[in-house]
Amino acid sequence: MVDGEPRPWLPSPSPAMDEITFKSDTVLSDVHLHTPNQRHLMVRLSGVGQPVFLSQFKLLWNQASQTDSGAEGGNHRAHHAEVTSPARSSCSSEGVSLQAGADATSQEGVAAQLDEDGDLDVVRRPRAASPSKPSGPPRDKVHPMILMQEEDDVLGDEAQESGPYDVIKIEHTMATPLEDVGKQVWRGALFLADYILSQRDLFQGRTVLELGAGTGLASILAATMAQTVYCTDVGADLLAMCQRNIALNSHLTAAGGGVIKVKELDWLKDDLCTDPEVPFSWSEEDISDLYGHTTILLAAEVFYDDDLTDALFKTLSRLAHRLKNASTAILSVEKRLNFTLRHLEVTCEAYDHFRSCLRRLEGLTGGRLRFAVEPVDASFPQLLVYERIQQLELWKVFVEPVTEPIVSADTAS
């Protein structure tokens, strides 16, 4: 046999340990797995054919009961908080106390029955013996409920039981390819929303820019206090979903007079799109207002891809140099643990890259701006019903102009 010719009887080399042997293009947010009592109603198909659902997240404007801390292990119950809805304060002087766990049914008093061998004894009642009219309320159907898009009150009795100011309605998808994860609801956005609702003085009357807003949940709640919120992301279909969610919750922002403007902001481009033919483009007036008045920037759950994380930090730095006022960026991230074949251990590569970007940003010197980074204590109250876990973190980046002259070592000597 001649050297260099293929040897078909030899097995092909096995792939390297860090080589991907299978892949999946579907990403699923687990937010809805922890809210089983909520109805997720399919209302339409998106522009790319994805099922779009409508869910409601309960707002705990006035929480009267003291419960466990979500930062100490996390569940969907809220801290003791005295936060009053701006809509409520304009309509009534009396608050309504909400119980975050009201949707959960009590299981006390139910004991498992075992047979003589210690196995679970399941007693099945004959169908004929079942009452024709059960005494309790009928069980909810488990299949999705498909509604007409033009229906206004799609949540019906559930929204009326809680009151219109006690829920935020969000259109979203349940599972998407990686490039469309902004259409899902993520815990990091709910965590950021908790912080926004607990820091009313910080947001009152401000101009806010959210980067990678996704479904717009954080922007909507920021607008209950802020004067103007620029809700930005990429993709006409996603931005149209943001616009729809803003309309669904206009009653929450109307009382405070906040305005939400949905705009496209691509982190991979240096300039804002001003072409009037492009949907969600910027006007010169909006750009002037953005750079002239913005003092708070937000970003939640956008640090899952290293390239996009790099692009976001470049955008953050570029915007900071164009803003006329000192600003604060509030970043929400979930520390996701993954076992990798490359390291043969549990790692948090996306989170680690995010932290390294924070350190590089803080280490920038020689410019006209100073960046200071600090973590946010997660003990602020939980004001939305979801599962708050320990892996959720908030970071603040303070951007301030450098007032003192920068002296180099050569000059000082």
pTM of the model: 0.74
- Gap between the Cα atoms of 321 and 66, Å rounded: 44
Whether 110 maps to a domain, the answer reads no
Domain presence at residue 332: yes
- C-alpha–C-alpha distance, residues 49 and 233, integer Å: 20
Determine the structural domain holding residue 275 and report its residue range: 180-401
pLDDT at residue 404, rounded to an integer: 65
In the structure, what pLDDT confidence band is assigned to residue 149 with cuts at 50, 70 and 90? very low
Question: How far lies 152's CA from each of 4, 90, 199, 203, in Å?
Answer: 71, 24, 31, 30
Contact 368, 352 (CB under 8 A): no
Asked if residue 45 belongs to a domain, the reply is: no
Backbone angles phi, psi at 209, to 5 degrees: -120, 125
Residue 285 lies in a domain: yes
CATH code of the domain containing 210: 3.40.50.150
In a domain, 189, yes or no: yes
Which pLDDT score, from 0 to 100, does residue 86 have?
A: 64
153-178 per-position pLDDT tens digit:
444 444 445 567 789 999 999 888 88
Q: What is the pLDDT of residues 220-267, one digit of tens each?
A: 999 999 999 999 999 999 999 999 999 999 999 887 788 999 999 999
State the Cα–Cα distance between residues 248 and 158, nearest whole angstrom. Answer: 15
- For 321-374, the pLDDT digits (tens) are 999 999 999 999 999 877 666 666 667 899 999 999 999 999 887 788 999 999
- pLDDT, position 126: 52
Q: Is residue 334 assigned to a domain?
A: yes
Whether 188 is covered by a domain: the verdict is: yes
State percent of the chain over pLDDT 90.
48
The answer to whether residue 14 is domain-embedded is: no
Pairing of the two strands 294-300 and 259-264 = unpaired
Q: Is the pLDDT of residue 144 over 60?
A: no
User: Total domain count for the chain?
Assistant: 1
**Amino acid in the structure at residue 341:** L
Find the radius of gyration of the CA atoms of the chain.
26
282-320 per-position pLDDT tens digit: 999 999 999 999 999 999 999 999 999 999 999 999 999
- pLDDT, tens digit, 9 for 90 and up, residues 77-135: 444 445 556 665 554 433 333 333 333 333 343 445 666 666 656 555 555 544 555 55
Backbone dihedral angles phi then psi of residue 57, each to the nearest 5 degrees: -115, 125
